[in-house]
Amino acid sequence: MKKESITLILLLSNLLIAFLGIGLVIPVMPTLMNELHISGTGVGYMVAIFAMAQLLVSPFSGRWVDTVGRKKMIVIGLVIFSASEFLFGIGQTLPVLFISRILGGVSAAFIMPAVTAFIADITTMETRSKALGFMSAAISTGFIIGPGIGGFLAGFGTRVPFFFAGGLALFAAVFSLIMLREPARYQEAVAEDESKPGLKRIFARQYFIVFVIIFILSFGLASFESIFSLFVDHKFGFTPTDIAIIITGSGIVGALAQVLLFDKLSRMIGEKRLIFFCLVFSALLVFLATFVRGYFMVLLVTIIIFVGFDLIRPAATSYLSKIAGNEQGFVGGMNSMFTSIGNVFGPIIGGALFDVNVDYPFYFGAFVLFLGVVLNYLWIKRTPAFKANV
């Protein structure tokens, strides 16, 4: 097996472990919400403060990925994530839980740009889409396995999944410290770092419109994803096990789509058009989710929605990676930052709307995704000749 393949497996394993830790806690959030008497608005703020921390740190972390190193940023991020999960496990008040979410946001700002840049360093233009598809599949698989394990561990105590997640992240940090080696292209990025422009590169023509689409996507999806477990709990009375099954089933199909379809679709129609079609289906189905009735219909609609989500994210990341050159860390950081901006306001508005009517967050999410459809169409129309995915 080639050295690059082994490194890719190690990176994907770390992502799997980290996002498994995140997925573990999803089924217990409604129970924890009831135990601590937290409103939908409170849950929205908890999700939003995670994204706010990620937002504030991402512009710096993207730069650090290109200067400090990919490996160091991954290890530090995993250690911080571990601390955040342990803190959430012992937290009994909202301020403590909020501090935990802030640390979690910082860890995400460290890990994701570093892993994305690492993968870009060890792949070619021809193999990058597939590798980034595997990266998204590893994340999705973490969410697939996580809720199932979380639902099981919750039987031993509501906080047990958080302690388990913290231990997994700490293991991943030690694993990365021992096994990973900085890629050769990182040295090139360091050598050229002094000549790179600052944050004004956000507004560069080849980057900005993609960043805006990422923001719109995250803004709309966050109001759906952050409220989903509360939505089915309040509207249908689903148990943590029911929620775990729905999310797990959706994640399995989404991960399979990323592994089996993403590379083929991106080669066939390009990342821009793939994003467009997935946005159309996602906007429509998020709206229709408020009308479905019955467990299996909810499961079916959720599966299709998650497939759309799971194809959009690697498509945007792949496109940015291909045009970034030696600015991989910067682009990864900006990707994280614009995702965070959407994740800050989406859950806040979604949580507030949930307290008014359980369907309103989905209406809101569908509307924002439709705005993304319009912008993406204009983006494609401006550059109808799709060449080399640029």
Closest CA to 286 of 265, 255, 307: 307
Amino acid at 104: G
Place of tokens 């079916």: 300
Question: Considering only 38-52, 196-210, 289-303, 349-363, which range has the smallest mean pLDDT?
Answer: 196-210
Q: Check if the beta carbon of residue 267 is closer than 8 Å to that of residue 129.
A: yes
Q: Which tens digit of pLDDT belongs to each residue from 239-288?
A: 777 777 777 777 788 778 877 888 888 888 888 888 889 889 888 988 88
Average pLDDT value for the chain: 78
**Triad 252, 29, 332: Cα angle to 5°:** 60
**Triad 273, 217, 34: Cα angle to 5°:** 145
DSSP assignment string, 138-149: HHHHHHHHHHHH
Higher-pLDDT residue of 232 and 3 is 232
**385 pLDDT tier (thresholds 50, 70, 90):** very low
Q: How many CB atoms lie under 10 A from the CB of residue 303?
A: 18
Place of tokens 């422009």: 197
Q: Is the pLDDT of residue 125 over 70?
A: yes
User: Which domains are present in the chain?
Assistant: 1-183 (1.20.1250.20), 200-385 (1.20.1250.20)
DSSP assignment string, 52-101: HHHHHHHHHHHHHHHHT-HHHHHHHHHHHHHHHHHHHHH--SHHHHHHHH
Q: Check if the beta carbon of residue 65 is closer than 8 Å to that of residue 73.
A: yes
Residue 195 has what DSSP assignment? G
**387 pLDDT tier (thresholds 50, 70, 90):** very low
Amino acid at 125: M
Q: Which tens digit of pLDDT belongs to each residue from 5-21?
A: 788 888 888 788 777 77
Amino acid at 379: W
Closest CA to 151 of 300, 353, 76, 143: 143
